[in-house]
Amino acid sequence: MELDEIDRRILRTLQSNSHLTNASLAEHVGISPPACLKRVRSLRQNHVILKEVAILNPLLTGNGITMIVEVEMERDRADLNQAFIKRVNVAQEVTQSYQVTGEVDFVLIVSVPDMEAFQHFAEKVLYADQNVRKFRTLISMKRNKYTTELPI
């Protein structure tokens, strides 16, 4: 799907506030409400908009510790990687997972309430996988920037 400037304005606006009514969105981007609705439906159907969610405050939901976990695998085999990815995908503590190039194979963003919860996560996900060679955990002291907005 080719995005034109109106589509880009719609996407930029929705990324900062997806709670707008169609009429408000249409007014903000300068098109009629029916045209706006048609474009938003098309953006959803073409998977440009994947989902609309509420972003929660981790401190107020009891998950105030964010950790970046670098994981190095023992063997680089597709079946073993898929087994690890499956385990990571069901772990509620993992909010983001990236398969990367370089010195490590995966980078995980993990959100937990305390170190005991992280230890439990490490045992059930990291230590339980015999293909995990080692992992390194970086504890976030302060989040300086956080956004889900992509540059459009």
Q: Where are the domains of the chain?
A: 5-45, 65-139
Give the model confidence (pLDDT) of 129-147 as tens digits. 999 999 999 999 999 999 8
Positive/negative CA dihedral, 21, 24, 25, 26 = positive
Does pTM top 0.85 for this prediction? yes
Q: Confidence band (pLDDT; 50, 70, 90) for 42?
A: very high
pLDDT tens-place string over residues 65-87: 999 999 999 999 999 999 999 99
Under CATH, which number does the domain 65-139 receive?
A: 3.30.70.920
Per-chain mean pLDDT for the chain: 96
CATH of domain 5-45: 1.10.10.10
**What local confidence, expressed as pLDDT, does residue 70 receive?**
98
